[in-house]
Structure 1
Amino acid sequence: MSRFVRPSKYRHVYPNVAKKEACYENVKVSNNAWDTNLVAANGKYISINWNASGGGAFAVLPVNRPGKLNDIYPLCRGHTATVLDTAFSPFEDNFVASASDDGTIGLWKIDDANFDQLEWSDKERERNGGVKDFEPIARVSGGGRKIGQVVWHPTASNVLAAATGDHVIKLFDVSNASTAASSPSISLRGFTDTIQSLDWDWTGTTLIATSRDRKIRTFDPRQGENPVQVADSHGGIKGARVVWCGDKDRAITTGFSKMSDRQMFLWDTTNLAGGPLKQVTLDSSSGIIMPFWSDNSIVFLAGKGDGNIRYYELENDELHYLTESKSSEPQRGLTFVGRRFLNTDDNEIAKAYKITGTTIQPVSFCVPRKAEGFQSDIFPPAPSAQPALSAAEFFGGKRAPRNMLSLETGKGVSSSGSVPTASAAAVAAPTPATARPASPTKTAAAPAPAAASTPAHSVSPVKPSPAPAAAPQPAVGSEPKAAPAPAAVSTATPTSNGSSTSSSEVADLKAAIEKLRTAVEERDTKIRHLEQENETLKANQRKAREALLNSLRRAGEEDEVQR
């Protein structure tokens, strides 16, 4: 055993757990068993999957309003089933996306003025007709089955990746709600089981994902729908997660072995087939490990049901254990905020929000330093709120490094990460070698398959509209070798009849759908009113109980005095 201790700036990182007055209490966390973090946050808001009746809902909490939440709290409502995941846009602090079990994505713009109602008295709330919930600005259909995770693109604005229940990752341009609602811009396939986790690389060029089929996959979304690389991952089927290691070509996964040991793997993303570079067995607990990456080359590991948060430093492809934050209160969910929201005056290198019971507890990770002033060695530039690309530029094939800012001055600086041109795709082409390597130059003349694959992404969700046009085609195709004249004659009459009947059927379906939507909205409104009345009754009951106990206590004290 070595007598020397490895030097590290982060060896003595310590957790600074917020006191009770800085926590958020009376939080009603969703009891759904779906594996997500349950909570998301930036420097302005915290979103949390809410335990609500009358359709799915989630709550948005202003960071600057800690304390006990009102019994009746304004919620983001618009889903007809449980909300499974939420994510804040990296470029708009007020813009949040939600994923639901009803197969839709909700897009929300949070209005700060709506939180003024938190200061209302009971009479003011009654006078204003109760608490006003948030409404989505748009709802995007994901294809009918549940949407399990949503992840924003790191460099392009309004680009959202969503993992669907039919084992497809869909990329949406949400800058135009009507366009996003019609179809995804890109669909990534190749999964044979539930998608468990996904993440983007530093520049948003490559996407990496884990699934229940024990595989890890990488995609270059603009090169095709099939994975560029596929490799065997953790042996257990339970809860595998993945996180990209910042501007490095490394990724970290957490999962379980066949013997149910919790593991952490380090991967070279340019050569997944070579297996993990490093394997770490953590313990034999049953909680799913949630990994979080910090640009200080630190990975934080938080287990569901655990009270501790461990952290490791990545250096020269070695994962060095630093220490852990210990607590007797187990966490149900956890999230970390972006680095541009950190408090550099306290040498805070990371900040998390931890769900314990009905409380959200802020936890800061700080580096002890005697010197005052900005510590540049522990605060590298952070990704800024300025996107490098628009959604149209991204889907058009353009690449760009992240826009960065100095945490000392708040001004923009040059990005440290390079834009990969063919790093992942070229190295990973061994399996799809026949389709990929030729695409940059020679396949330009032969994109017959490429042209077919591109529409395939947009055709799959848009099948309802081409249906009328597709109906006449079988009539023509049924006699492909017949003379043109009969084919033209046979097509003429069915076209008009088919279009008239199909248009009337479509109109009837639209009317029925609208009627159902109205009925669902009315039902949800009634349930929400009943929920508010129930919460009011509970609050009044609690006040009456406290008043009765106080009166009994005073009566007892008076009896003691008289005696």
Structure 2
Amino acid sequence: SGRIDKAYPTVCGHTGPVLDIDWCPHNDQVIASGSEDCTVMVWQIPENGLVTGMSEPVVVLEGHSKRVGIITWHPTARNVLLSAGCDNLIIIWNVGTGEAMIQLEDMHPDVIFSACWNRNGSLICTACKDKTIRVIDPRKEEIVGEKEKAHEGARPMRAIFLSDGNVFTTGFSRMMHEMDTSNGVLLPFYDPDTNVVYLCGKGDSSIRYFEITDEAPFVHYLNTFTTKEPQRGMGYMPKRGLDSDLFQDDLYPDTAGPDCAIEAEDWFEGKNGEPILISLKNGYVPGKNRDLKVVKKNILDNKLSKNAENTSPANKSASSTPSIKNEAKLEEVLKEIKSLKDLVSSQEKRIIQLEEQMSKIAI
């Protein structure tokens, strides 16, 4: 039925509604979330799933001044995460250190509707409320291409990169000969292995498939999948999660695997890496996911990195004490030790004075 138990454990840490989530492509247990509370949180789910509710993320990323509506992981570099907020700001984070490495300011005069990495993660394309599509080199912090009035309509549009470097957009126009005439915002999901785009919309009850080719009209209608109930939300699952005994090479060519091509530090230094592909012919056997550890560059994070390692949501016991309480207790103990030292020092002075008085009396 698709229903779950009402008492099913949940991940609850944000103080406002969650607006976007994205599973890490290089760790099936790690998920990032953006919220109206202006924060980004990264969570590590236990390998066997949630047994109890989770309320403490591995790391909280703070840098936006308004709600965060877009979250997307880098396709080939480990621990690189992009977030975009209603403050018209794009931040690229190194999740491994919890740092905001790149901030793309003053590039978007209005709300950002979508942001998408290209195949190797060297560029991003964005759709903005000002009706302009921008292609940005995030490490150089410059716009390398833009298209004004990509769609005439004022309603939200979306833009995604195709594997050949072209940009595919959806939006609204006065003409009604487009892919879909529904009122909902069309959300494109792209399969780079087969060059197929799936279009669906909130409130719609159909999903349309189109193949992208080099021949006019370039976007070719394939089929429509219809459901009885309208769609409320959509997501795209990695193909390695398919549970099927049938396999056809032409339908399932090699696809991106869970291994990253480069580390975060390499990417921020200017290196690029293509996705590491795997074959699904003999099925996919998941390997052991390593724990996400956050190591910040300041001394205060000694405690935090241990917290990420020992009391991360995946390993945390119900009896563990939050680090803030530990800090308060430590400060209390230090104050007591200091007061005891002061007391001992004053008593020593008093003893010396009494000894001097006794020696005078004895004489």
TM bin, normalised by shorter chain, reads: 0.7 to 0.9
What percent of counterpart residues are identical?
33
What letter is aligned with 1:83? V
Separation (CA, whole Å) in 1 of partners of 2:47 and 2:283: 24
Pick from 242, 249, 261: which aligns with 2:165? 249
Cα deviation for residue 150 of structure 1 reads: 0.4
Cα deviation for residue 215 of structure 1 reads: 0.4
Separation (CA, whole Å) in 2 of partners of 1:205 and 1:190: 17
CA gap 1:307/1:401 in 2 versus in 1, 3 angstroms: same
Cα deviation for residue 137 of structure 1 reads: 1.2
Cα deviation for residue 410 of structure 1 reads: 6.1
Separation (CA, whole Å) in 2 of partners of 1:230 and 1:377: 35
Separation (CA, whole Å) in 2 of partners of 1:135 and 1:248: 40
2:294 maps to none
Check the 8 A contact 2:201/2:231 in 1, yes or no. yes
CA gap 1:186/1:192 in 2 versus in 1, 3 angstroms: closer
Pick from 239, 243, 262: which aligns with 1:339? 239
Separation (CA, whole Å) in 2 of partners of 1:170 and 1:114: 30
1:393 counterpart SS class: helix
Check the 8 A contact 1:195/1:211 in 2, yes or no. yes
1:209 maps to 126
Cα deviation for residue 70 of structure 1 reads: 2.1
Check the 8 A contact 2:9/2:51 in 1, yes or no. no
1:267 maps to none
1:173 maps to 94
Separation (CA, whole Å) in 1 of partners of 2:126 and 2:59: 27
Alpha-carbon displacement from aligned partner over 1:375-398 (angstroms, at most 9, x marks no partner): 212211100111001000000001
Check the 8 A contact 2:64/2:89 in 1, yes or no. no
Matched, 1:193 2:110: yes
1:323 maps to 223
Pick from 264, 271, 275: which aligns with 1:391? 264
What letter is aligned with 1:378? L
Alpha-carbon displacement from aligned partner over 1:502-542 (angstroms, at most 9, x marks no partner): xxxxxxxxxxxx99xx9xxxxxxxxxxxxxxxxxxxxxxxx
Matched, 1:80 2:19: no
TM-score, with length taken from structure 1: 0.48
Matched, 1:314 2:249: no
1:394 counterpart SS class: helix
2:178 counterpart SS class: strand
Q: What is the number of residues matched between the two proteins?
A: 283
1:236 maps to 153
2:317 maps to none
Check the 8 A contact 1:188/1:219 in 2, yes or no. no
1:156 maps to 77
2:179 maps to 282
Pick from 213, 221, 227: which aligns with 2:143? 227
CA gap 1:75/1:116 in 2 versus in 1, 3 angstroms: closer
2:298 maps to none
Separation (CA, whole Å) in 1 of partners of 2:9 and 2:244: 33
1:301 maps to 199
Structure 2 unaligned spans of 5+: 285-323, 329-363
Which moved further from structure 2: 295-304 or 334-343?
334-343
Matched, 1:92 2:13: no
Separation (CA, whole Å) in 2 of partners of 1:188 and 1:386: 31
2:179 counterpart SS class: strand
Cα deviation for residue 340 of structure 1 reads: 2.2
1:243 counterpart SS class: strand
What letter is aligned with 1:191? H
1:447 maps to none
Which moved further from structure 2: 323-332 or 105-114?
105-114
Cα deviation for residue 94 of structure 1 reads: 0.5
Alpha-carbon displacement from aligned partner over 1:225-257 (angstroms, at most 9, x marks no partner): x31112121111212112222x21222111111
Check the 8 A contact 1:308/1:325 in 2, yes or no. yes
Separation (CA, whole Å) in 2 of partners of 1:343 and 1:208: 33
Check the 8 A contact 1:173/1:185 in 2, yes or no. no
Separation (CA, whole Å) in 1 of partners of 2:43 and 2:65: 20
Separation (CA, whole Å) in 1 of partners of 2:211 and 2:48: 42
Cα deviation for residue 281 of structure 1 reads: 0.9
Separation (CA, whole Å) in 2 of partners of 1:221 and 1:282: 31
Check the 8 A contact 1:149/1:162 in 2, yes or no. yes
1:291 maps to 188
What letter is aligned with 1:109? Q
More helix, by proportion: 1
CA gap 1:116/1:102 in 2 versus in 1, 3 angstroms: closer
Separation (CA, whole Å) in 2 of partners of 1:235 and 1:76: 40
Separation (CA, whole Å) in 2 of partners of 1:308 and 1:323: 10
Separation (CA, whole Å) in 2 of partners of 1:384 and 1:310: 26
Matches within 5 A, 1:44-63: none
Separation (CA, whole Å) in 2 of partners of 1:381 and 1:329: 33
What letter is aligned with 1:236? G
2:143 counterpart SS class: coil
CA gap 1:99/1:116 in 2 versus in 1, 3 angstroms: closer
Separation (CA, whole Å) in 1 of partners of 2:96 and 2:243: 32
Cα deviation for residue 322 of structure 1 reads: 1.0
Cα deviation for residue 154 of structure 1 reads: 0.3
Task: Find runs of 4+ consecutive structure 1 residues off by over 6 angstroms.
Answer: none
Separation (CA, whole Å) in 2 of partners of 1:99 and 1:340: 26
